Amino acid sequence: MKPADHALRRVLNDEVHARPPEQVRPPVRLSYLALVPDEERAADIKALHDLVTRYGAPAPRPDQNHYSADLGAFRIKWERHTEFLRYKFFVSGAEATPFSNPAIASVPQEWLAALPGKVISAYHAVLLPEPAGGVAVEAMAESYFNGNALIGSMTSGGKGFAFTDFRIHDDGFGRLMIFDSGLTPRQMGRLVQRIMEIDTYRMMALLAFPVARSLGPQLQQAEQELLAIIDAMQVAKEEDEPVLFDRITKLEAQVEKTRSDTHFRFSAAVAYHTLVEQRVEELREQRIEGLQTFREFNERRLSPAMATCRTTSARLEAILDRVGRTTMLLSTRVNVTREKQNQQVLKSMDRRATMQLRLQQTVEGLSVAAISYYIVGLVGYAAKGIKASGRDINLDLVTAWSIPVVIVLVAFGLYRFRRAIEKDDDK
């Protein structure tokens, strides 16, 4: 007994065994296609389904990422990767003239023509036992590779020989010849798979190279615009800052969009290049005098292109970082200017509030005087009425004594009224 399994335990464990190499026993002809899909995922599996069911083989599941079957006329191995698909077609037996009748000739041609996607790598391979007299490299190059310079080496600790020219021939396929000098069928399958992967990953990595080259003028223009903005900032006045801020934000948006458009391609190139180097290392090459090894070919032809991609990506990141710092600097400058303006506005508002308070106090004082004047007048009229009724009072004395009393009462009343209004405002 044990605790319950994690939901992904079996899936993750089986993943490392998901794509075992085919066991290959020479002589064998092999055709290889790697395609970048341009349609829905379902179209890829449908194409495979249409082919294998035609030969009575089990249909692939919609969620499958790899499939292999013996269809009688040929064996097929299909794999789906993140950005591309791979087909391998195997036909047993050799031809008198290699590449004259490739394995893919046994595949229905109308089905091939309708395959979804675009070819990124295609190879015909001939797998043979090592000739009794050894491999005649120069004769092989002349007969089967149009006299092109070959890339080749002893592989797998001297148990195999692999040769190609990494060129696309008239039929649209590259050519590969492998000779068995003691490999097991599984080792031969791994050797074929590694060499095909080297070319496929090399081509996928190189997809970033045209992108890197096309970015050169754009990055130079961005650097010049950034330098112009920085120069202008040093002599800019306050009224120039909004224009500069608009320029730097537009530049930042342009550079950020460029980064977003290219980040995946450059990151993928680094990953593919790493895979190429790993597969080359796994070949365990031994030099054949006069030939470039697979390692040397990739170091001389692929590595410089990848260096260009890395440099361009780093340059783009550096520009984006500099633009970001410049934007922050200009934002700080604009904020300082705004703070000064806000302080001036606040000071002006304080002065205006002080003036309004003084004016209000003046008006209140005048209001007390005016109201008191009218009330004292009313007191005088009241005193006259009382005197007319027969009472003996001094009108002037009553009026005089009423003045301070009225003023105090009016001032206190206005004070209470203002306090009541202020309390309502606070609420």
- The tens place of each residue's pLDDT in the chain, 427 residues long, gives 678 878 777 766 766 666 667 888 999 999 999 999 877 778 889 999 999 999 999 999 988 888 999 999 999 999 999 899 999 999 998 887 888 899 999 999 999 999 999 999 999 999 999 988 888 899 999 999 999 999 999 998 889 999 999 999 999 999 999 999 999 999 999 999 999 999 999 999 999 999 999 999 999 999 999 999 989 888 877 777 888 888 989 999 999 999 999 999 999 999 999 999 999 999 999 999 999 999 999 999 999 999 999 999 999 999 999 999 998 888 887 777 777 777 777 787 878 877 876 777 676 666 767 777 777 777 777 777 777 777 777 767 767 777 787 777 777 777 777 777 767 666 5
Count CB neighbours of 161 within 10 A.
23
Residue 12 is assigned to a structural domain of this protein:
no
Cβ neighbours for 37, distance < 8 A, ≥ 6 positions apart: 43, 44, 84, 85, 116, 117
Residues 218 and 169 grouped into a single domain: no
User: Given the DSSP bridges, would you call strands 118-129 and 174-180 parallel, antiparallel or unpaired?
Assistant: parallel
Residues 56 and 168 grouped into a single domain: yes
Q: Is the dihedral of CA 66, 69, 71, 72 positive or negative?
A: positive
Residue 51: per-residue pLDDT: 95
Residues 397 and 409 grouped into a single domain: yes
Q: What residue has token string 């109308």? A: 110
Range of the domain at 383: 354-415
Residue ending a domain, among 204, 229, 248, is: 204
The C-alpha atoms of residue 22 and residue 263 are separated, in whole angstroms, by 35
Residue 250: per-residue pLDDT: 93
Q: What residue has token string 């995922």? A: 41
Q: What residue has token string 């003036």? A: 355
Residue 385 is assigned to a structural domain of this protein:
yes
Residues 26 and 175 grouped into a single domain: yes
Residues 363 and 255 grouped into a single domain: no
Note the Cα 221 to chain centre separation in Å.
22
Residues 339 and 358 grouped into a single domain: no
Residue ending a domain, among 160, 179, 204, is: 204
The C-alpha atoms of residue 411 and residue 419 are separated, in whole angstroms, by 12
Query: Which of 249, 253, 250, 244 lies closest to 334, judged by CA?
Result: 244
Q: What residue has token string 């109201």? A: 371
Residue 102 is assigned to a structural domain of this protein:
yes
Residues 245 and 385 grouped into a single domain: no
Q: Global pTM?
A: 0.78
Residues 51 and 119 grouped into a single domain: yes
Residue 350: per-residue pLDDT: 79
Residue 420: per-residue pLDDT: 77
* 77-104 per-residue burial string, b: 16 or more CB within 10 A, e: under 16: bbbbeeebbbbbbbbeebeeebbebbbb
How many domains does the chain contain in total? 3
The C-alpha atoms of residue 223 and residue 217 are separated, in whole angstroms, by 10
Residue 120 is assigned to a structural domain of this protein:
yes
Residues 198 and 216 grouped into a single domain: no
80: three-class secondary structure by DSSP: strand
Are 127 and 192 within 8 A, CB to CB?
yes
Residue 1 is assigned to a structural domain of this protein:
no
Count CB neighbours of 337 within 10 A.
15
Residues 67 and 170 grouped into a single domain: yes
Residue ending a domain, among 319, 344, 369, is: 344
Residues 273 and 139 grouped into a single domain: no
* 208-236 per-residue burial string, b: 16 or more CB within 10 A, e: under 16: bbebbeebeeebeebbebbeebeeebeee
Residues 325 and 368 grouped into a single domain: no
Residue 76 is assigned to a structural domain of this protein:
yes
Residue 17 is assigned to a structural domain of this protein:
no
Residue 7 is assigned to a structural domain of this protein:
no
